[in-house]
């Protein structure tokens, strides 16, 4: 009994829950982070994914995957060895080992997460995906991409694509989001902006989720996950939808 209590204490301090009583795979509260890549590239123009971006790129006209983060935010690095954690903290993402992804999933991830060129997927898996209970890297990225696809098929994504170069308010963004995901879901969405000279551009949106993440997720299931999550602060009140290559 004393040994078991010691193990439970260590798992708690590490920000991980013991798997024996964890329940169904990937059940809990999460944040889905999706980027507007042209705005991100204003802050990191030398990254390989930003050097490769142009106005015709897929990531210039729809949201890109940043990550899926189990909550609370302190719930990170569940299980990796110390050397891998240190490599992650130092930004040496190429040195982080990750299980081989299925080839169709890898191609899908490369299209949806431009940061794979900088090994962002390795960082996201070791820091966040490792804390999704009973979920391997393939399942983690498949779930993340299903969630992203639901947003990119929504009126919110269409609004951003149609307003490139123009300013959008938080109210307009939330109205478009709620048109697909239901009344009140806009209160689970937070807007992040970056200042670029005299412009303020929308760089990222984070969306709260609560429930079981497993199998294929359709829009109704995603809407239910969003509705069940806690409300969040609205973040930035609005900004410009940046154009690829615009300074």
Longest pairwise C-alpha distance within the chain: 62
Contacts of 103 (CB under 8 A, 6+ apart): none
Please state, in angstroms and rounded to a whole number, the distance separating the CA atoms of residues 6 and 67.
32
pLDDT at res. 215: 75
Torsion from C-alpha of 116, 117, 119, 121, nearest 10 degrees: 0
For 138, the token pair is: 């393939």
pLDDT digit string (tens) for 168-186?
999 999 999 999 999 999 9
Please state, in angstroms and rounded to a whole number, the distance separating the CA atoms of residues 228 and 201.
29
pLDDT digit string (tens) for 129-142?
999 988 999 999 99
27 has pLDDT over 90: no
What does the mean pLDDT of the chain come to? 90
pLDDT digit string (tens) for 83-96?
999 999 999 999 99
Please state, in angstroms and rounded to a whole number, the distance separating the CA atoms of residues 114 and 120.
9
Supply the pTM of this predicted model. Answer: 0.88
């Amino acid at each position: 009994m004393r040994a078991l209590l010691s193990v439970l204490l260590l798992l708690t301090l590490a920000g991980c829950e013991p798997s024996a009583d964890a329940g169904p795979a990937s059940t809990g509260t999460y944040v889905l982070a999706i980027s507007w890549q042209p705005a991100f590239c204003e802050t990191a123009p030398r990254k390989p994914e930003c050097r490769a971006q142009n106005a015709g790129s897929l990531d210039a006209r729809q949201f890109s995957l940043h990550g899926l983060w189990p909550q609370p935010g302190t719930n990170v690095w569940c299980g990796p060895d110390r050397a891998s954690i240190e490599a992650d903290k130092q930004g040496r993402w190429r040195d982080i080992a990750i299980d081989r992804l299925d080839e169709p999933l890898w191609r899908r991830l490369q299209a949806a997460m431009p940061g794979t060129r900088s090994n962002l997927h390795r960082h996201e898996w070791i820091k966040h995906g490792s804390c999704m209970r009973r979920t391997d890297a393939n399942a983690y990225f498949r779930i993340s991409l299903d969630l992203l696809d639901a947003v990119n098929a929504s009126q919110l994504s269409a609004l951003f694509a149609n307003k490139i170069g123009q300013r959008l308010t938080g109210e307009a963004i939330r109205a478009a989001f709620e048109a697909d995901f239901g009344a009140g879901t806009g209160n689970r969405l937070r807007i992040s902006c970056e200042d670029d000279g005299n412009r303020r551009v929308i760089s990222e949106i984070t969306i709260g989720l609560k429930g079981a993440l497993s199998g294929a997720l359709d829009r109704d299931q995603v809407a239910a996950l969003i509705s069940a999550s806690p409300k969040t602060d609205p973040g930035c009140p609005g900004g410009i939808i940046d154009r690829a290559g615009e300074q």
